[in-house]
Amino acid sequence: MNYFLRRLLFMLPLTLVIVTLAFFLVRVAPGGPFDRERKPASPAVERALAEKYHLDESLISQYLRFLGLKWERTPGGSLRRAPGGLVAGDLGLSLKYRNHTVTDIILQGLPVSLTLGFLAFGFALAMGLPLGFYTAVRRGHWGDWIGSLFALLVICIPGFVIGPLLILGFALKAGWFPVGLWGAPLQAVLPMVALGLYFGGRVTRLTREGMTQALQSEYIRTARAKGASELQVLLKHALPTAVMPVVSYSGPMLADLLTGSFVVENIFQIPGIGVFMVNSSLSRDYTMVVGLVMLYAVLLLVLNLLVDLAYSLLDPRVRYE
Amino acid sequence: MSESKLPQNGPSMVSSISVEAVHLSPNQKTWRRLCANRPALISAAFIALVMLLAIGVPLLSPHDAVHGSDSQFAPPSLAHWFGTDVHGRDVFTRVFAGARISLLVGAVGTVVSLIIGVCWGMIAGYVGGRTDNFMMRFVDILYALPSIVFVIVLITTLEGFVKQWITAISPALAPAGRMMFLFVGLGAVSWLTMARIVRGQVLSLRSRPFVLASQSLGASNRRILFHHILPNVIGIVIVYLTLTVPAIILYESFLSYLGLGIQPPAASLGTLIAEGAAQINPLRVFWWLIVGPGCVLALTLLALNFLGDGLRDAFDPRSS
C-alpha cells in the first residue's frame, strides 16, 4: 500500500513538470493565437486582445498567473492573489473559442471521448478474449491459422484506414449505420469498431500466447490426470492464468484508447476532446493545449497506477515495494 | 529474454539445440532457422518488392505523381491500376512515391531510435549503480508521458524553429525541413523500449566470465563495450529493429493523416489515405483512393511484423 501512496504522491510533481514543459513550449514557439492571414483591425485591437489574455506580460509572470501564484496590486494599493489559476482549478479562457473556459470545453467533450474509449475497450476484450481462447485451443488447425492471421491483419490496418472503409461499406453502401455524429446508440457502433479493432487484435495475440503457455504447464497435466473434463481444464484451470498478460496490457490499452481517439473522432465527426488536441496546437491556443496535455498526462498516470493496483490484487505473486 | 543465442554461452547451448553433425556457428544456425521459416522469407521478399517498386515506379511510370491530368476519379483500369484521384493523378504512381517516403521515414527514424536507445541502454547497463538508476528512472518517466500528445505539441511548436534554421542555411532545403523533423522526432520518441531491452542484456552480460576475463587482462571499457558486449546484443537489437520500423511508419502515417506529417504535393501513405478519406461522400464512392494506399500500408506493416516474429524465433529458438 505504501508503494501506491508514494506513486500517488509522485504523480503531482510529475504532472507539474509535464504541464510546465507544455506551457513554455507552446508559448516560446513562433506564431501566436491571434496571427491570422488578415491582421486584426488595428494595433489598438491587437494590444487590447493581448492585454485581456495577459499575453503582454513576461513569460514568468504569465506562468505564475497560470499557476495562480501571482500577487498583484489592486487599484486600492493592497496586495492580492490574481484570481483563477491552477490552484483554484481554473485553466483559463480558451484563446480560440472566445468566451469559453478550457475547463468548460473539456467537460463538454470528455464524457463523449470517455464513452467512446470504454466502448472500444469493451469491444476489444469481447473480440480478443474469445478469439484468443479459440485459436489457442485449436492450435495448429486451420481455425487457429485464420484467427491468428485476422488478429495480425487488424493490428496492421490503422484506424484511419478501417474507419473510412467501414463508412464506405456499412454506412454508404449497406446503409446499416449512420455515417457519423454522436448521440444515438447506432452512431456509436462504427467508431467503436474502428477504434477497438486494433486493440482486439492485440488482446487476441496476448490471450493466445497466455493460453498456450498455460496449457503447457504442469498443473494442467495434474488437472487432466485427476480426470477433470476438458472444458473444466480450459475454463477453470488454464484461463485465469492466461488472462494475466491481458490485465497488464489493459492499462496502456485503456490509456491509448482514451488519448488516441483523435483520428476516429475526426473521421466520424464526434464532438470529443480529441478533435481539439490537434486543432488547438496548430492554432496556438495556448491555454487549450496546456489544459489538454495536463488532462492526458493525469489520465495516463492514474490509469497506469490503477492497473498496477489491479495486478497486485489479482496475482498474489506480484509484490511492489 | 533468453541468452541462449550468445556465442560465448558454451556447451550447454550446443547440447540443447544442435543435432546436426556439422558444427555451425550460432550465426549460421540463426540463418538456417530463418531460412526454414517460410512466412518470414515470403515477408522479406515482399518487403524487398515494395522497396523496389517504391524506387522504380515513380521513375518509370508514364504518369506524373505530382502534376494532375484531366481524367479525375477514374476507377482502376489497365491505364491506371489503382485509379486516379481528385486532380487526375495516377494513384498507383502516387502510392509508391508515398511508400518511398514512408519507408524512408521508417528507416531513418529507426536508425535514430537505435542510436539513442542502444547508447542509453549500454551506458546504463554497463556503468550500473546510481547512473543506471537515474537513467532508467528517466526512461520510466518518459514512458508515463502521453507520447502522441507530446509529438503533436512538439511538431507544431518546434517546427517553426527548424524551418527558420533551415531556410537560413539554404532556402531550397525548406520542404525537406518537415521530413528531417519527422526523422528526428519519431526516432526520439521510439527509443525507450530499445534502451530497456539493451540495458537488460548488458546487465546480464557484464558479469559473464568472458567479460571478467577481458577486464582482468586489462582491456579498456571501450574495448569491452564494443568488442564483447555489442556483438552479443546485436541479435536482440535486430529483432527489435524490425518491429520498430512498422511502428514508426504507422506513427508517420498517423501524423500525416492529421496533416502534421509530410506536406503536399509530396505524399506519404498516410497523406494519401487522408486524401481518400476526404473524398468520402454519399453520392459516389471512390473506394480505390483508400483501398490502394491502405492495402500497401497494411501489407507492408504485416510483412515487417512477420519478419520480426521470424527473426525473433530464429535468434531465440526457445521463444516459440
Residues A255 and A249: their CA atoms lie apart, in Å, by 10
Residue A1 has a pLDDT of 64
> What is the predicted pLDDT for the residue at A135?
92
The least confident of A65-69, A166-170, B26-30, B64-68 is: B64-68
**pLDDT by position in tens, chain A (length 321):** 677 888 888 888 888 888 888 888 888 777 777 766 456 567 777 777 777 777 777 888 888 888 877 777 777 777 777 777 787 777 788 877 778 888 888 888 888 888 899 999 999 999 999 999 999 888 888 888 899 889 988 888 888 888 888 888 887 777 787 777 777 777 888 899 999 998 999 999 899 988 888 888 888 888 888 888 888 888 888 888 888 888 878 877 887 787 667 788 888 888 888 878 777 877 778 888 888 888 888 888 888 788 778 777 776 666 665
pLDDT confidence of residue A103? 87
Is residue B14 very low, low, confident or very high in pLDDT (cuts 50, 70, 90)? very low
Q: Does the CB of A318 have a partner CB in chain B at under 8 Å? A: no
In chain B, residues with a C-beta closer than 8 Å to the C-beta of A161 are 273, 290, 294, 297-298
DSSP B74: P
pLDDT for the residue numbered A43: 77
Q: For chain A, what's the residue count? A: 321
d(CA A237, CA B87): 60
pLDDT at B72 over 80: no
Find the residue in A nearest to B153 (Cα): A281
Chain A residue with CA closest to B146: the answer is A297
A198 lies within 8 A of chain B by CB:
no
Substitution target from B50, B157, B192 for chain A, most A beta carbons within 10 A = B157
| CB-based contact A266 B258, cutoff 8 Å | yes
Q: Do B254 and A18 lie within an 8 Å CB cutoff?
A: no
pLDDT at B229 over 60: yes
User: Is the CB of B146 less than 8 angstroms away from the CB of A297?
Assistant: yes
Most confident of A27-31, B63-67, B222-226, B265-269: B222-226
At residue B6 the predicted structure's pLDDT band, cuts being 50, 70 and 90, is very low
Rg (CA), chain B: 23
Give tens-digit pLDDT for B177-228: 677 777 778 888 888 888 988 888 888 888 888 888 998 998 888 888 888 8
Query: Hey, of B138, B149, B250, which one would you mutate to test binding to chain A, going by the most A CBs within 10 A of its CB?
Result: B149
Burial A97-127 (b: 16+ CB within 10 A, else e): beeebbbebbeebeebbbebbebbbebbbeb
Answer yes or no: do B152 and A277 touch at CB < 8 A. Answer: yes
CA distance from start to end of chain A: 9
* Beta-carbon separation of B141 and A14 below 8 A: yes
Cα–Cα distance, A100 to A92 (Å, whole number): 9
A79 pairs with which residues across the strands?
A: A73
**Which residues from B are below 8 Å from A277, CB to CB?**
149, 152
Residue-wise over A211-220: b if at least 16 C-beta within 10 A, else e? bbebbeeeeb
How far is residue A177's CA from residue A170's CA, in Å, rounded to a whole number? 6
pLDDT, position A128: 93
Q: What is the pLDDT of residue A119?
A: 92
Give the pLDDT score at B317.
Answer: 56
| Distance between B224 CA and the closest CA of chain A, angstroms | 34
Q: What is the pLDDT of residue A39?
A: 61
Band of the pLDDT at B5, cuts 50, 70, 90? Answer: very low
Q: Is A152 on the interface with B (CB under 8 A)?
A: yes
State the pLDDT at residue A203.
Answer: 92
Contacts of B156 in chain A (CB under 8 A): 29, 281-282
Q: How far is residue B77's CA from residue B232's CA, in Å, rounded to a whole number?
A: 52
**Out of B152, B277, B282, closest to residue A281 by CB:** B152
Please report the residues numbered 10 through 39 in chain A whose beta carbons come closer than 8 angstroms to any beta carbon of chain B: 14, 18, 22, 25-26, 28-31
**Residue B19: band (very low, low, confident or very high) from pLDDT cuts 50, 70, 90:** low
* Measured CA distances, A180 to A122, A159, A245, B287 (Å): 20, 15, 34, 18
Output the pLDDT for position B254.
82
Give B90 or B178, the one with higher predicted confidence.
Answer: B90
Q: Count CB pairs under 8 A between chains A and B.
A: 118
Interface of B with A (CB under 8 A): 141, 144-146, 148-150, 152-154, 156-158, 160-161, 164, 246, 250, 253-254, 257-260, 270, 273-274, 276-277, 280, 282, 285, 287, 290-291, 294, 297-299, 301-302, 305-306
CB contact under 8 A, A179 and B274: no
- Out of A26, A179, A260, the one facing B153 most closely (by C-beta) is A26
| DSSP strand pairing (A71-73 vs A79-81) | antiparallel
Question: ipTM strictly over 0.90?
Answer: no
Amino acid B10: pLDDT = 44
Tell me which range, A279-288, A308-317, B119-128, B160-169, is most confidently predicted by mean pLDDT: B119-128
Mutation to test the A interface, candidates B102, B280, B284, B306, most A Cβ within 10 Å: B280
Residue B151 has pLDDT above 60, yes or no: yes
Q: Do A160 and B150 touch (CB under 8 A)?
A: no
Chain A nearest-CA distance from B146, in A, is: 6
Beta strand residue intervals within B168-306, DSSP E? none
Nearest residue in chain B measured CA to CA from A15: B145
Give CA–CA dist A53/A279, Å, rounded: 19
Average pLDDT for B162-184: 73
Question: How many C-beta atoms lie closer than 10 Å to residue B22's C-beta?
Answer: 6
Nearest-angstrom CA–CA distance, A43 and B151: 34
Residue A110, classed as helix, strand or coil, is helix
Q: Are B290 and B276 in contact (CB under 8 A)?
A: yes
CB distance B298–A304 less than 8 Å?
no
Provide the pLDDT for residue A67: 83
- Provide the percentage of residues in chain B whose pLDDT is more than 70: 86
What average pLDDT does the segment B51-78 reach?
76
What integer pLDDT is reported at residue B174 of this predicted model? 65
Please report residues of A whose CB lies closer than 8 A to that of B270: 160
Report the residue from B144, B259, B277 with minimal CB separation from A164: B277
CB A81 within 8 A of CB A71: yes
Across the strands, what pairs with B84? B90
Query: What is the average pLDDT score of chain B?
Result: 79
- Write down the residue that cell numbers 474502428 correspond to: A194
Instruction: Determine the Cα angle at B248 with ends B246 and B251, to 5°.
Output: 110
Q: Is the pLDDT of residue B85 over 50?
A: yes
pLDDT for the residue B237: 87
Across the range B275-301, mean pLDDT stands at 81
Distance CA B86, CA B267 (A): 14
Contacts of A267 in chain B (CB under 8 A): 277
Selection from A35, A15, A16 nearest residue A284 by Cα: A35
CA A38 to chain centre: 36
| Chain B positions in Cβ-Cβ contact with residue A152 (cut-off 8 Å) | 302, 305-306
B21 vs A260: which has the higher pLDDT: A260
A160 reaches B (C-beta below 8 A):
yes
Residue B247 has pLDDT above 80, yes or no: yes
Spatial distance between the Cα atoms of A262 and A300, rounded to a whole number of angstroms: 16
**Cβ B301–A156 below 8 Å, yes or no?**
yes
